[in-house]
Amino acid sequence: MLVAAAVCPCPPLLVPEVAAGAAPELEPLRAACAEAVGELLGSGAELIVVVGTGPTPEVWTEGGAGSFHRYGVELAVRLPSGGVDGPELAPSLTVGAWLLDQAGTALPTHACAVPADSTPARMLGLGQGLAELADRVGLLVLGDGSACRSLKAPGYLDERAEAYDAAAARALGAADIEALAALDPALSAELLADGRAPWQVLAGAARGAGLTGRLGYDDAPYGVGYFVASWSAGAA
């Protein structure tokens, strides 16, 4: 059963070594992520599952490793309590592994990569399955909002992006699983919102769990919507 979740964005710039001189700009976001991950790890979860987008569906159950070499940084990370066999972690999951490493947890951890174009029904079903992996499951969900919030954003300016992100932020902050389940895949793709699929995994996992949510961060510093949220039985 799902007992808690932390929702964080996954830009590589979260990692100070990658951000270099721009690192101070994202310090509030890092702090919000650290707080959400800390709440997740303090929830009493027996198993943590990290969920993010990847080019192909992949599952890591015996550990896994990723690196930030592609960004010119000699930094590698691994999932807690496992080996490093198998394919390299997808970039989003590598950021998740870094967040867990920063928190210093040794909890058993699995990881799951989902393609950004996955159907809502498939993601909802996957979430239900993940929630059944242990008596007390916690999810670390990685994904960004739209990438079209400004002229300099990766997807340029799209006037629909602000409303899309506002709706996503409301749903994440309120633990509104029906609103997350209803996010439109086509619009999400047009706005480059790769968090849609992982958020719908969360929605599926949370059905019947009775969790409430708290939004800890909502901003678009580089024209990309970044949200941090905590879901738990005691969130407010």
The span from the CA of 44 to the CA of 107, in Å, is: 10
The span from the CA of 12 to the CA of 116, in Å, is: 18
Tens digits of per-residue pLDDT, 96-124? Answer: 999 999 999 999 999 999 999 999 999 99
The yes-or-no verdict on residue 235 having pLDDT over 60 is no
Tens digits of per-residue pLDDT, 35-81? Answer: 999 999 999 999 999 999 999 999 999 889 999 999 999 999 999 97
- The CA-based angle 120-184-222, given to 5 degrees, is 110
Q: Calculate what percentage of the chain has a pLDDT beyond 70.
A: 98
**Torsion on CA atoms 221, 174, 57, 121, rounded to nearest 10:** -130
The span from the CA of 157 to the CA of 64, in Å, is: 37
Nearest to 157 by CA among 191, 195, 193, 116: 191
For residue 25, what is the DSSP state? G
Region at 207 (left for phi over 0; alpha for psi -120 to 50; beta for the rest): beta
What's the one-letter identity of residue 189? Answer: A
What's the one-letter identity of residue 135? Answer: D
pLDDT at residue number 233: 87
pLDDT at residue number 25: 86
The span from the CA of 176 to the CA of 93, in Å, is: 24
Tens digits of per-residue pLDDT, 165-217? Answer: 999 999 999 999 999 999 999 999 999 999 999 999 999 999 999 999 999 99
H and E: helices and strands count for the chain: 8, 9
Structure tokens belonging to residue 153: 């954003």
Dihedral sign, Cα of residue 61, residue 64, residue 68, residue 73: positive
More confident residue, 25 or 142: 142
- Tell me the whole-structure pTM to 2 decimals: 0.96
140, 99 in Cβ contact below 8 A? yes
The span from the CA of 30 to the CA of 19, in Å, is: 12
